[in-house]
Structure 1
Amino acid sequence: MELFERNACDLSEMIKNKEISSAELTKSVFDRIKAVEGKVDAYLTLDEENAMKKAAEIDEKLAKGEELSPLAGIPVGIKDNISTKGLRTTCASKMLGNYVPPFNATVMNKLDDIVVTGKLNMDEFAMGSSTENSHFKPTKNPFDTERIPGGSSGGSAAAVAAREAIVTLGSDTGGSIRQPASYCGVVGLKPTYGSVSRYGLVAFASSLDQIGPLGMCVKDVAMVQSAIVGHDKYDATSSYREYPDFAADLKADVKGLRIGIPKEYFGEGIDPFVKQSVMNAVKELEKQGATVKEISLPSTDYALSSYYIISSAEASSNLARFDGVRYGFRAEEYDGLVDMYERTRSEGFGDEVKRRIMLGTFVLSSGFYDAYYKKAKLVQKRIMQEFASQFADVDVIATPTVPSTAFKIGENTDDPLKMYANDVCTVTVNIAGLPAISIPCAYDDKGLPVGMQLIGGKFTEQRLLNTAYAYEQLVGGFKMPEL
């Protein structure tokens, strides 16, 4: 087995025991990138020179007997909306095409002894479900390069699936970690809102955004999650609490676990194969001692509309900072200040970003605020209450991650509403601020992965990870695509 094919947990032990060096592992990953990146297009910026230097530094520290974190020397890819000091961070937008941050996001400071391979492609400013909205290029699904990898963290999921990084970081506003994890057959965790600092994450919708890990197995995801959680004084929404060592506390026991099956997530619009695959996965857990009951989350029907109102409203405010004055792209020709604003934003933003800014500005405008935004916030409160009510009777909720397997590149680009419908199973989690994980549970007749989503109550990541780990132990883990 090549080094790049191994999981982070095994590689961490091998580095610690000096069976391999970080430099050897990093070279193996970059050799893999050179072999397959032309087919996948997961990266926007590669940083091989600095990565090899960092790997050599880690090896030197280990040789001296210094205590380092479990992720020391592991090559990690970073979504391109997470600030990396000295390394270009574009948000896949023309607006930030040459932006090099002068500071690190908090998660990067927490992961200070990883090896950063580079910055991963995404939908522009994290707005999209297919990574086709990137200003630079679309990323391809490693299981079928004519298909999308999902989004907005499409590069993060594709890089793990193609083994162009051992683990990656993504961000999730309405499903942007879980949805591409499902399409690319990897594990993706959206943590509880407030458990991971958002400082240094370029904001899309501040009340919904959350950084989280993607990996080839549950234990890898647990290991990264353990490293990035914790209170941060630079993030006012960061929670004060103690967190367990998620990887060390992993257990594959689901005896007595109560699983809820919400009928609203298995109705019209969900592909029959996807539906059956998730139910088969739940039955496997039931055989191990879990109990299963049907539940109802009636406000789910309004979740998608509420999500796009709330997220677009926040996006229109957050993206007002990109005006051509302080940093980023500025139009070359303009007549006065107002014209400079208009031309800069017209030329610097892509169609999807402009669509959401316009929608957000509309729902916040005088005369429409009460009719749209205020109602969406009321629905958000109702959804939170419904989840809280159900978690009094069940421990975990199981649903499909997305309604179907990955569709072909270009298939839905002319139909924004069809594209938005891909998020129907995931947006409620962000609206309620809950944790959720997507884990591969089947492959269709074309070899395309299907993901099962497990949703938990706030700060129940350990239970979610344990449930996913138990399932993974039953059925086997990651299936590597042929590229």
Structure 2
Amino acid sequence: MTSHPLHFKSIVEVGQMIRRGEVTSVGVTRHMLDLIASVDGRFKSYIHLCGERALEQAEAADAALAAGLYRGQLHGVPIAIKDLCYTTYAPTRAGTTIYRGFMAPHNATVVDRLETAGAVILGKLSMTEGAYTGHHPTIPAPKNPWNESYWVGTSSSGSGVAPSAGLCFASLGSDTGGSIRYPCATCGLTGIKPTFGRVSRHGVFALAESLDHVGPMARSVADCAVILQAMAGWDAHDPTSLDVPVPDYATEIGKGVRDMRIGIDREYAFRGVDREVATALEQAVEVFETLGARIIEVTLPDYDALVDAWIMMCAIETAVAHQDTYPARKEEYGPDLAQLIEEGLSTTGTEAARGHHLRINFSMAFEALFGGIDCMLCPTMPSPTPSLADMKDYGADPAVLNAIMRYTAPYDFSGSPTVTLPNGFDNAGMPLSMQIVGPKLGEAAIIRAGDAFQSVTDWHTRHPDIGG
């Protein structure tokens, strides 16, 4: 058991404490709500707090436990969800002003499944407008708890800030081009972008439906596995969900990586990468070798043109997602999302077809790599966490966006699962990060590898000083 304050403990730890009666769910939930009231005025991670309902859920969780009903590791544990997941009990605005006050007719499937697993929902977390790059000008952007002058990542910004600052034990994020992975990288978190179709998107606002993924963000691979287990599986309401069995991800925890085949394309992983990022990745390779993994050299299929096509491919689908409100309510949109939609409206069919062909070719060739490896290692971003000043043109300048998406966009196109996890700190004291990528439906392999790394390193256990 670690000596972390209650709010910085893992899901596994706090869940065991609740089950053993060392704490109550009500006590933990009150502690979290008090902390949010104390410090989130500075961090701005929550857009809507569900305090009264959360306490009612916690009371029900305690009563169920007293009656001998235990729902699993999430029983009574307070978490939070990105504000693009439908909820009937709180508005869902998806970072926009257009949907201010929108009350959904049903919960998102992922919300229902988490609550069925016993989770307590503290509230809805802030995000960029429509899940693209920029926050709406009228909605304050969340602040990085490690250093408020540094980028917090997009679009799951509040979903990165809240668990990093100890304001929930885990969160839900979404990822269309890197939006689970960037906030995990900048906030020192672990996150899983699952295989496309592994987790239902029913009741989740779309950015680009063929690229959108929903996944967990937490403090460890083991914690992410708990959340993923509760959410994963076929959903009759989502025609893109996969009707295949869901493995018991908990069996991968503690299994180790002896004789596991971990691929690395050194040209891809290290070319043009900041020295601090490269050094941390090299050290991670050494850790895996020490643990008994086999490091295998691979060559990634050509990806440059595909990354260049991401904005266009996202744009055409975003234009469809917003066709009921754009251009009819164009004046209510922020500049980044409006610019993206305009690009989508102006893209020709032949341009879209070229992008689609690039996607198919990369996806097929990339999946073929896993005939010889179990998973692949690469950075999450080519540089350490940038400052806000460095990212002022993010979203408006395609060159800035393309540069940072080199390690994220390809796996949204291919629908491949990835786990993002911290692997060091830079000279400015900001977290560094890496990615483990698996074959489709290969969540078990990346969970196994990520957990093995975290079993012998402590980067994921460190947390910012939040004051309060």
Same fold, judged at TM 0.5 (above): yes
The yes-or-no answer on 1:115 pairing with 2:120 is yes
Partner of 1:195: 198
- Superposed structure 1 runs of 4+ greater than 4 Å apart: 131-135
Deviations 1:385-414 (A, max 9, x none): 221221111111100001122222243323
Which of 334, 346, 362 is matched with 1:362 structurally?
Answer: 346
Which residue number in structure 1 is paired with residue 354 of structure 2?
A: 375
Equivalent of 1:87, from 82, 90, 93? 90
- Asked whether the equivalents of residues 262 and 375 of structure 2 are also in contact (C-alpha less than 8 Å), the reply is yes
Q: How many angstroms apart in 2 are the aligned matches of 1:197 and 1:232?
A: 6
Give yes or no for contact 2:252–2:447 (8 Å, CA) kept in 1. no
Distance (Å, rounded) in 2 between the aligned partners of 1:396 and 1:249: 14
Query: Does the CA contact (< 8 Å) of 2:151 and 2:391 recur in 1?
Result: no
Residues 453, 183 of structure 1: alpha-carbon distance in 2 compared, 3 angstrom cutoff: same
C-alpha distance in 2 between matches for 1:231 and 1:453: 26
Tell me which residue corresponds to 1:125: 130
Q: 1:452 corresponds to which letter in structure 2?
A: M
> How far did residue 262 of structure 1 move?
1.9
CA contact (8 A) 1:41 1:140 kept: yes
RMSD: 1.6
- The question of whether the paired residues in 2 share the 8 Å contact of 1:132 and 1:409 is answered with no
Quick one: which of 426, 434, 440 aligns to 2:408? 426
Structure 1 gap ranges (5+): 324-340
Q: Which residue of 1 is the match for residue 452 of structure 2?
A: 470
Write the distance in 1 (CA, Å) between the matches of 2:445 and 2:408.
Answer: 19
Following superposition of structure 1 onto structure 2, how do residues 161-310 of structure 1 map, counting pairs within 5 Å? 161-310=164-313
* CA distance in structure 2 between the aligned counterparts of 1:265 and 1:360, rounded to whole angstroms: 29
What is the TM-score when the length of structure 2 is the normalising length? 0.94
Partner of 1:457: 439
Matched, 1:351 2:335: yes
| C-alpha displacement of 1:264 | 4.6
Alignment partner, residue 102 of structure 1: 105
Q: Give, as a single letter, the amino acid of the residue that structure 2 aligns with 1:59.
A: D
Q: Deviations over 1:319-351 (max 9, x none)?
A: 11336xxxxxxxxxxxxxxxxx53x2x222111
Aligned residues: 457
Contact 1:412 1:419 in 2 (8 A): no
- Once the two structures are superposed, the pairs formed by residues 382-401 of structure 1 within 5 Å of their partners are 382-401=361-380
Deviation at 1:103, TM superposition (A): 1.0
Percentage of identical aligned residues: 30
Give the Cα–Cα distance (whole angstroms) in 1 for the partners of residues 137 and 382 of structure 2: 23
Distance 1:264 1:105, change over 3 A: farther
Distance 1:40 1:420, change over 3 A: farther
Compute the TM-score of the two structures, normalised by the length of structure 1.
0.91
Counterpart of 1:457 in structure 2: which amino acid? P
Q: Distance in 2 between matches of 1:75 and 1:218?
A: 18
Q: 1:134 to 1:439 in 2, by over 3 A?
A: farther
Q: Secondary structure at the match of 2:420?
A: strand
The separation in 2 between residues aligned to 1:164 and 1:391, in whole angstroms, is 38
Q: Deviation of residue 134 (structure 1)?
A: 6.5
Distance 1:321 1:407, change over 3 A: same
Contact preservation (8 Å) 1:127, 1:152: yes
- SS at 2:250 equivalent: coil
Match status 1:52 vs 2:55: yes
Question: Residue in 2 aligned with 1:482?
Answer: 465
- Helix, strand or coil at the partner of 2:192: strand
